[in-house]
Structure 1
Amino acid sequence: MSDQGIPFGKVPPEILSQFALSRTGARRREVVIGPDIGVDAAAVDIDGDILVLSTDPITGAGKNAGWLAVHVACNDIAVHGARPVALLVTLLLPGESATAHLDRLTTDIDRAARDVDVAIVGGHTEVSGAVTRPVAVLTAIGRVERSKLIQPAAARAGDDVVLVGSAAIEGTAILATDFADELRPAVGADVVERAQGFWDGVSIVTAALLAAEIGAIAMHDCTEGGIITAVHEFAVATGLGVRVVVESIHRREETDVIASHFSVDPLALVSSGALLVAARRELDIASRLRDAGFQAARIGEFTATGRRLLLRGKSIPLVPPARDELWRLLEERAGI
């Protein structure tokens, strides 16, 4: 816990609404999408061109933080139907081993930026006594025609909720990498090696841009708090209710094995690499995404009211976890 009594991780929505979302500066006519719960990026109209912008820090990952930072930032752009084009990179480094940290982070960031075909156009780097380990904060910038901009408000009751990808891809990769020595004798070196390969699956840019082309009405990427939090955020952003069948949420075997070892809930574990899509039911967008080679399944639907999970046939309230399971585990291991 911090000195304000807020758990590490995302600031709870009610506190964010009180202290941040109520203080958003001047009103500008250029703003098409502004800050809100469950909204992944901002959109600004500059003389008819729509720029989509998003900022994300990486604080929970150790190794591969640079790679993850690029993909997390670009994912937020793509869910609005925009193609990422540029990145601003801010790196805060502790004094000890600063050069080594800088070398590792910039190598990973460059590699990931090439992977999604975006340019690094600026940023800021400094060594600071305010951090005890490296912190990467990336701002991604994308572009889309106004007629093709995807906004959460377009969803309506009766639309399918489709999950593209699997739960806890990012969280599984982090645990398999940062706790590899502990995991190998417990679950097997082969499981750990396969799970470390999940880093290659944290981008949803290609899937999101394809979904936008074939009829997605709204999209939301799954990050901190896992699939359960993402579904709740998606419903809040659309202003709708939602009903999701828990058993329809795809998980990989390696995720279940590693989650069981650490006694964490994979549905509340950070999940970059998974994408939620809202689409009209008649489009059967899940089938079309599977035909294109993506793991995709209809997991539920938007409703006029109420936010519920169906678990083994029983309807229960959809309540997002207080914090991501990764943060809970790291705090327990640190004795916080």
Structure 2
Amino acid sequence: MVKISNEVLRRIVFTNLGVKDDDVIVGPKVGEDAAIIRISDKYLAMHTDPITGAIERIGWFAINIVANDIAVRGIRPRWFLLTLLLPTDTNEDGIRKIMTDVNTALMELGGSLVGGHTEYAPGLDRVIASTTAIGVGDRYITTSDAQVGDLILVTKYVAMEGTAILASDFTNELIRRGVPKDVLDRAKDLIWNLSVVKEALELADVANAMHDPTEGGLLQGLLEIAEASGVRLRINVDGIPILPETRYLFNTLGLDPLKSLSSGMLVATIPRSVVNAVDYKLRRLGINYSIIGEVVKGEPGVDLVKDGEVLGNVSGFIEDEVMKLWHEKY
């Protein structure tokens, strides 16, 4: 899957949304992770996403990717609907493998699969899974409430999702280029770290804004926070955490990890006054984090800084490098 540009979204998609409904608190908007609908004194969070850029463990991806988008609203994902479109040669063992991974992900999240659709679709050469996640809460967080002066925090490591996909779906190419099997095995195992549900729910009472950087990677996620909030982000590039396996695979293929699928890394903007509380919360969960920058006044965008000097700035729309490579192959 390669997303259409934000400009096309604004010009064509967002201008055809049906009737205005006052109970829709957060509707379609660039950078916002899930819709928020007022139901009496509660808030319903809903999000849907297809998985088209992965082959291995697609059932695991299908549940966890959408669960993240509900959790960064500060709301626990509870109910899921799954649509599976299957190539006509998919046998029962193939379906069982997908659904076993779906069930494992649901059990870990405490979620329930409540509906969906499954069919054989002529013309497909791989499975496409599209999932909707739903949750209900007393309050919510948006991508668009980052405040000037906030610190920018990320959990875990950049491009873990992209690393796992490269290791799983490009194994032969990476081996041909000399990547050792043990590196590939560690990279594949990163798929089990793609959930941000625990840390997102833990930070829901202290963060001003939270976001789940997926396609386009960390830089696209940061841009979406900046644009949605009307602020500028100043990022210390040396502070961005990256695993050795990620660096190895991305350097081997000539890709930029900052522009690649990054599910598993939560981005949050937090007031400076809550740093100690955040440290306690995340250490209690055993989740590593890094402070990579701050929110400043200025035109919406992202400045990349090294040793106090601005290396460059990021704006516009970022095409995901792993997705681009994946579609060139498949």
**Conserved? CA contact 1:101–1:134, under 8 Å:** no
Q: Deviations over 1:97-134 (max 9, x none)?
A: 25343222212111111111100000011111253211
Query: Is the aligned partner of 1:95 residue 2:88?
Result: yes
SS of the aligned residue for 2:204 comes to helix
- 2:56 aligns with 63
- 2:194 aligns with 202
Matched residues in 2 for 1:28 and 1:332: separation? 41
**Conserved? CA contact 2:203–2:278, under 8 Å:** no
How many residue pairs match? The answer is 324
121-130 or 323-332, which moves further after superposition?
323-332
- 1:216 aligns with 207
**Conserved? CA contact 1:270–1:324, under 8 Å:** yes
Q: 1:289 Cα shift?
A: 4.5
Q: 1:302 Cα shift?
A: 1.3
241-250 or 94-103, which moves further after superposition?
94-103
313-322 or 154-163, which moves further after superposition?
313-322
Q: 1:59 Cα shift?
A: 0.5
- 1:111 aligns with 104
114-123 or 296-305, which moves further after superposition?
296-305
Q: 1:239 Cα shift?
A: 2.1
Q: 1:17 Cα shift?
A: 0.8
In structure 1, stretches of 5+ residues that fail to align are 1-7
147, 154, 157: which one pairs with 1:166?
A: 157
- 1:40 aligns with 33
Within-5 A mapping of 1:145-160: 145=138, 148-160=139-151
In structure 2, stretches of 5+ residues that fail to align are none
Query: Is the aligned partner of 1:239 residue 2:234?
Result: no
SS of the aligned residue for 2:195 comes to coil
Displaced runs of 4+ in structure 1, greater than 4 A? none
**Conserved? CA contact 2:161–2:262, under 8 Å:** yes
Within-5 A mapping of 1:294-305: 294-305=287-298
Within-5 A mapping of 1:221-300: 221-284=212-275, 287-292=279-284, 293-300=286-293
Matched residues in 1 for 2:279 and 2:62: separation? 30
Q: What RMSD in Å do the two structures reach over aligned CA positions? A: 1.7
**Counterpart residue identity of residue 327, structure 1:** M
Matched residues in 2 for 1:134 and 1:31: separation? 33
**Conserved? CA contact 1:289–1:296, under 8 Å:** no
**Conserved? CA contact 1:244–1:301, under 8 Å:** yes
76-85 or 24-33, which moves further after superposition?
24-33
SS of the aligned residue for 1:11 comes to coil
Within-5 A mapping of 1:16-35: 16-35=9-28
**Alignment TM-score, normalising by the size of structure 2:** 0.93
Query: Is the aligned partner of 1:326 residue 2:318?
Result: no
Matched residues in 2 for 1:287 and 1:257: separation? 30
136-145 or 105-114, which moves further after superposition?
105-114
184-193 or 33-42, which moves further after superposition?
184-193
Aligned residues: percent identity?
35
Q: Deviations over 1:199-255 (max 9, x none)?
A: 110000001001113x11110011011111110011112222211111111000110
Describe the shift of the 1:23–1:128 C-alpha distance in structure 2 as closer, same or farther (beyond 3 A): same
